[in-house]
Amino acid sequence: MKQQKTGLIPLKSIKDILKTLPLGDFKTTTRIKVPNKNDFIDVIIKLSKNNGVKSLVIEYILNGEPRNIRNAALQINNYAKAIKSSYGVVVAPYISDNAAKICKEMNVGYFDLSGNCYLQFGNVLIEKTGKPNKSIIKRKQRTLFSNKAARIIRILLSNTKKAWGVRELATEADVSPSYVSKIKQFLIGQEWIDISKEEIVLNNPKEILDEWVRARRFIETGTLKYFTLKKPHEIEKDLSSYCKKNSISFALTGFSAAIRYAPMVPSNRVVAYVTGDISKITKDLDLKLVDSGANIELIIPKDEGVFYNSQIIDDIQLVSPIQTYIDLINVRGRGEEAANAVFEKKVSSLW
Burial of 259 from C-beta contacts in 10 A (0-12 / 13-18 / 19+):
buried
Distance CA 311, CA 315 (A): 9
Q: Are 296 and 226 in contact (CB under 8 A)?
A: yes
For residue 341, the model assigns a pLDDT of 95
Residue 7 pLDDT exceeds 70: no
pLDDT, one tens digit per residue, over 169-205 is 999 999 999 999 999 988 988 889 977 778 999 988 9
User: Which residues are CB-neighbours of 217 under 8 A, at least 6 positions away?
Assistant: 330
Distance CA 72, CA 61 (A): 8
User: What 3-state DSSP class applies to 285?
Assistant: coil
Burial of 116 from C-beta contacts in 10 A (0-12 / 13-18 / 19+):
buried
Confidence band, pLDDT 50/70/90 cuts, at residue 6? very low
Distance CA 250, CA 238 (A): 12
Q: What is the percentage of the chain residues whose pLDDT exceeds 90?
A: 53
For residue 238, the model assigns a pLDDT of 96
Comparing 36-45, 130-139, 141-150, the range with the smallest average pLDDT is 130-139
Confidence band, pLDDT 50/70/90 cuts, at residue 217? low
User: What 3-state DSSP class applies to 129?
Assistant: coil
At 311, which helix (H) or strand (E)?
strand 311-313
Higher pLDDT, 30 or 250: 250
Residue 114 pLDDT exceeds 80: yes
> Strand 124-128's sheet: what is its strand order?
26-33, 40-47, 55-60, 86-92, 109-112, 117-121, 124-128
For residue 133, the model assigns a pLDDT of 80
Distance CA 68, CA 182 (A): 17
At 316, which helix (H) or strand (E)?
strand 316-318
Residue 316 pLDDT exceeds 80: yes
Q: Supply the mean pLDDT for the chain.
A: 88
φ and ψ at residue 26, rounded to 5 degrees: -155, 160
For residue 265, the model assigns a pLDDT of 81
Q: Are 195 and 346 in contact (CB under 8 A)?
A: no
Average pLDDT over residues 142-146: 73
Pick from 87, 2, 85: which is nearest to 40 by CA? 2
Query: What is the separation of C-alpha 328 from the centre of its chain, rounded to a whole number of angstroms?
Result: 16
For residue 229, the model assigns a pLDDT of 94
Q: Residue count of the chain, please give it.
A: 351
For residue 4, the model assigns a pLDDT of 45
For residue 239, the model assigns a pLDDT of 96
In order of their start, the domains of the chain are 2-128 (3.40.1350.10), 139-216 (1.10.10.10), 222-350 (3.30.460.40)
Average pLDDT over residues 68-92: 89
Number of helices (H) and strands (E) in the chain: give both, helices first: 13, 14
Distance CA 13, CA 89 (A): 15
pLDDT, one tens digit per residue, over 41-57 is 888 999 887 777 888 99
pLDDT, one tens digit per residue, over 268-306 is 899 999 998 999 999 999 999 998 999 999 999 989 999
Dihedral sign from CA coordinates of 83, 63, 174, 207: positive
pLDDT, one tens digit per residue, over 237-254 is 999 999 999 999 999 999
Q: In Å, how far are 71, 96, 163, 248 from 194, measured between CA atoms?
A: 16, 19, 11, 39
Higher pLDDT, 136 or 311: 311
Confidence band, pLDDT 50/70/90 cuts, at residue 2? very low
User: What 3-state DSSP class applies to 335?
Assistant: helix
Buried b (16+ CB within 10 A) or exposed e, 79-96: bbeebeebbbbbbbbbbb
Q: Are 163 and 202 in contact (CB under 8 A)?
A: no
Residue 105 pLDDT exceeds 80: yes
Residue 138 pLDDT exceeds 60: no
pTM for this entry: 0.69
Q: In Å, how far are 60, 112, 170, 191, 212 from 185, measured between CA atoms?
A: 22, 24, 15, 10, 17
